[in-house]
């Protein structure tokens, strides 16, 4: 068996920028800007639900339960792995992330996790078709910040 199908340099750079862009939208609680990065029928897993069918349901049941209640979300770019299909039509991104959670009394705690995202080329752009973001073991599941949503 050969080695993993690592993405080429240009693909890696594109997805590093994608992760930075998406992270910014999470930090800004900007659902409207993040939506175009995902296929409308995306299938997702997350902290608050098992399989979430579709972007609208993902936004209301996962994003809205997490983004306004946390802060400082960032992918750990020096620890990402990016795999690509041989024809470069599908890409998988594996990335740890960090964020800050808040106890009910407002005290902050580290809220690290990891993500696996699968992308499919849709014409001249990439759309995320699957996302699984989960907290690391032992991290509190609930955070209690109350930041405003910038845009739905």
Residue 23 lies in a domain: yes
For 58-107, the pLDDT digits (tens) are 999 899 999 999 999 999 999 999 999 999 899 999 999 999 999 999 99
Mean pLDDT of 111-125: 94
Q: Write the CATH number for 24.
A: 3.10.450.50
Encode 62-93: b = buried (16+ Cβ within 10 Å), e = exposed: bbbbbbbbbbebebeeeebebebeeeeebbbb
Range of the domain at 30: 9-135
* DSSP β-ladder status, 125-135 and 38-45: parallel
pLDDT confidence of residue 75: 98
| pLDDT (tens digit per residue) in 7-60 | 999 999 999 999 999 999 999 999 999 999 999 999 998 665 678 999 999 999
Residue 1 lies in a domain: no
Q: Which residue has the tokens 């991104």?
A: 93
Measured distance CA(65)–CA(40) in Å, rounded: 19
Residue 142 lies in a domain: no
Please give the pLDDT value at position 49.
Answer: 63
List CB contacts of 64: < 8 A, sequence separation 6 or more: 31, 149
pLDDT the model gives residue 123: 85
Instruction: Tell me: pLDDT of 142 over 70.
Output: yes
Residue 40 located in a structural domain: yes
Domains: count for the chain: 1
């Amino acid at each position: 068996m050969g080695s993993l199908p690592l993405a080429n340099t240009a693909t890696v750079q594109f997805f590093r920028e994608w992760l930075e862009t998406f992270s910014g939208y999470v930090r800004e609680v900007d659902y409207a800007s993040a939506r175009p990065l995902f296929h409308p029928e995306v299938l997702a897993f997350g902290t608050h639900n098992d399989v979430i069918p579709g972007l609208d349901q993902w936004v209301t049941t996962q994003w809205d339960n997490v983004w306004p209640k946390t802060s400082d979300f960032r992918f750990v770019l020096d620890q990402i792995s990016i795999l690509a299909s041989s024809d470069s039509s599908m890409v998988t991104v594996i990335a740890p992330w960090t964020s800050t959670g808040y106890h009910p009394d407002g005290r902050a705690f580290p809220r690290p996790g990891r993500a696996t995202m699968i992308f499919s080329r849709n014409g001249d752009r990439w759309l995320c078709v699957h996302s699984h973001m989960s907290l690391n073991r032992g991290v509190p599941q609930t955070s209690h910040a109350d930041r405003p949503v910038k845009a739905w």
